[in-house]
Chains A and B, each alone.
Chain A
Amino acid sequence: MRTIALRDALREALHEEMARDESVFVIGEDVIAHGGPYTVTQGIVDKWPDRIFETPIAEAGIVGLGVGAALAGMRPVVEIMYVDFITCAMDEVVNQAAKMRYMTGGQASVPIVIRLPCGPARLVAAQHSQIMESWFMHVPGLQVAAPSTPYDAKGLMKTAIRSPDPVAFFEYKALYVSEGGVPEEDYVIPFGKADIKREGEDATVVAIGGMVPRALEAGIALEDEGYDIEVVDPRTLAPLDMETICESVRRTGRAVVCEMDSSFAGTGAEIAAALAEQCFHDLRAPIVRVGSPHVPMPFAEELVNVTVPDAGDVSAAVRKVMA
């Protein structure tokens, strides 16, 4: 299998879905110039100049138009330059896109994909580094995807575009250039199917998005200490595959839940609570959460390093559940 970067995998998914279905179109800031800051939409304008729209800096308008186009049967793929900016369009995401099917008694379908580049990268501080997955998980009617590998990114993006319901698609900026094997033939990854990224017997480490490579790194480091961890990547957070996570925890008896975002009221809190409800008697140690402290993202590298969890933090958490 050839190896490509995550952003190239996303670009391939977009090109393939646009070729497959003429209702797919792209809208967002700077999506034609350079193919967006992350080059994910590169080349689309050459093939489909009438299906890519470069917009004013007006996120509420961008998402609002996307919702309307989706209601009319189109499949917009919206790029929000940084997830932090989606706060300017929360009404459109929460009150319009997410609730429309329910409020209309099932009449409406809103097949919109909102691409949300997220997470720390390049020291851009508090307004360009947030993650926010749990905000969207909490809204009924939204689906949340957070791929960690190029393979998952492509397969999940294709599913997101084909889905009849809105998807908040989290792209960890720090992972855009990370490489991995991606087949050339068409494939999709169903939502709500976790992937075991590393098999192990001693403890289950549930890792989300950008934490997956860090958990795998911790897995290698912990081998020297005699710990064999299993790394489970949920891949989508809504729907959330608790079945696979629970099955793993029942085998290992120990659980660490890792996210890059603040752990307070976060994704890990939901997973840990569900584990406590469903696997309490299988647990041989209290669940440990790994995440950022509850602070905005700082600027200085020294401060970022103590904010964002790394492989060392995962290892420390594993030692704690193993103790």
Chain B
Amino acid sequence: MTLNAELSRRIYTDMWRIRLFEEEALRQTSLGSVKGTLHTYCGEEAIAVAVCAHLRDDDYVLGTHRSHGHCLAKGAPMDRMMAELFGRATGSCRAKGGSMHIADFSRNILGANGIVAGGIGPGTGTALASRIRKSDQVSVVFFGDGAAARGPFHEGLLFGSLWKLPVVYVCENNGYQQWVPRKNVAVVDSVADMAASYAIPGVSVDGQDLEAVYDAAGVAVERARRGEGPTLIEARTYRFYGHSLGDMEEYRSREEVDDWRENRDPIKLFSAWMKERQWLGDDEDEAIQAEVKVEVARSVAYAEESPLPEPEDVLTDVLDTEWRVSA
């Protein structure tokens, strides 16, 4: 499937949905309505939307601590996500997960994950389930460059390759492992090079270039669906905000951030790309943003109107207490 005007507009809208959802969530944090911390995806939007554009509803997605983008791109309802960030009973996880554990199993979004590389083993396991059931569902695991240092990354890729499982590993290399530049803690520059150790294709793309990510993901997803095994995609990207709330960002210069925001913003770049092809007019562009603003405002209203969890909810959802064994 190649990018056409209609698909591009849908993808472009999703990028704005992520951007404006998160900027509103940040604003709500300063107002005290959104609790806990937030790891924002702003600046990295092209990756989630370009990859998820290739997925079916029944394909699996597993994420990171920075997964609002993955959830929205895979179709999680924004209002329930906002309600989760507000800590409301109507939230995606009924106020038990919050930003770092947001999930929507009805759309096979099996969850953000607060453990770096935590989704890689399970995402390889959902692919194993596809294999055993002889289904052609594909699993996509998103993770950051920091995850490539952890054992579960290596073990997951080994299993995925060994059994040729239908999984796509997407490394969002934003250049910083929390507050430390990747070059200070890594011995190979490109995470994609690590694919060689597991005898799978490794592709490095510009994560700000939606078309590049879209094309690489298309090849990888189709390869997985055909039963030919995993691909490791590294998408080079940048986060516009700090690692999480309260990050003083002493490890990078204002100029560096401004340069990325000005010249490497995936939304600006894709907007220009579409306009070059006459796929997006200025009016349409404004209309899309206005529409998304309404959706975001509605999600805030939904969250504000939603009830807080009841104290007794703390004891539910530990185990399935309704279940009884029978011979």
Residues of A near any B CB (own CB < 8 A):
25, 50-51, 53, 55-56, 58, 60-61, 63-74, 76, 91-92, 95-96, 100-109, 140-141, 143, 158-159, 162-165, 186-188, 190-191
Contact = CB atoms under 8 A, between A and B. Distances in A.
Given A104-B93, A191-B325, A91 B152 contact: yes
Contacts of A66: 125
Contact of B152 (A60, A71, A141): A60
19 contacts: A51-B132, A56-B162, A60-B151, A61-B152, A67-B122, A68-B121, A68-B122, A68-B127, A70-B125, A72-B129, A92-B122, A95-B114, A96-B118, A103-B97, A107-B103, A107-B105, A141-B319, A164-B323, A188-B327
Given A95-B114, A101-B317, A140-B318, A68 B96 contact: no
B158 interface: yes
Contacts of B70: none
B305 interface: no
A58 B158 contact: yes
A71 B130 CA distance: 12
Contact of A61 (B104, B158, B316, B317): B158
A321 to B, nearest CB: 34
Interface string B87-103: 00001111111000101
Contact of B122 (A50, A64, A190): A64
Interface in B264-322: 316-320
A65 B125 contact: yes
Contacts of B324: 190
B320 A68 contact: no
A190 B120 contact: no
B326 interface: yes
Contacts of A61: 121, 124, 152, 155-156, 158-159
Contacts of A100: 111
Given A64-B152, A65-B159, A101-B317, A107 B323 contact: no
A188 B324 CA distance: 11
Interface residues of B, number: 52
Given A69-B126, A74-B132, A143-B319, A108 B103 contact: yes
Contacts of A92: 121-122, 152
Nearest to A51: B132
A101 B124 contact: no
Given A105-B93, A141-B319, A143-B319, A69 B128 contact: yes
B269 to A, nearest CB: 34
A60 B117 CA distance: 11
Interface string B244-260: 00000000000000000
Given A25-B132, A104-B111, 15 more contacts: A56-B159, A60-B151, A61-B156, A64-B125, A68-B128, A68-B129, A69-B126, A71-B126, A92-B121, A103-B103, A108-B110, A140-B318, A141-B318, A163-B323, A164-B320
Nearest to B106: A107
A165 B319 contact: yes
A186 B327 CA distance: 6
Give the one of B94, B126, B325, B327 with max A CB within 10 A.
B325
Given A72-B126, A163-B325, A60 B93 contact: no
B60 interface: yes
Contacts of A104: 93, 96-97, 101, 103, 105, 111, 317
B115 interface: yes
B123 interface: yes
B97 A105 contact: yes
A51 to B, nearest CB: 6
Contacts of B95: 105
Contacts of B124: 61, 64-65, 68
Contacts of A76: 125
A91 B105 contact: no
Contacts of A105: 91-97, 317
Given A55-B159, A61-B124, A91-B115, A103 B318 contact: no
B132 A68 contact: no
A72 B158 contact: no
Contact of A60 (B110, B113, B114, B121): B121
Contacts of B118: 91, 95-96
- State the 7 A-B residue pairs at the shortest beta-carbon distance, nearest first: A64-B121, A68-B125, A61-B155, A105-B94, A68-B122, A72-B129, A65-B125
Given A102-B96, A163-B325, A71 B159 contact: no
Contacts of B123: 68
B151 to A, nearest CB: 6
B167 to A, nearest CB: 9
Contacts of B179: none
Given A56-B159, A72-B126, A190-B324, A101 B319 contact: yes
B320 A109 contact: yes
Contact of B111 (A69, A103, A140, A190): A103
A44 to B, nearest CB: 14
B121 A103 contact: no
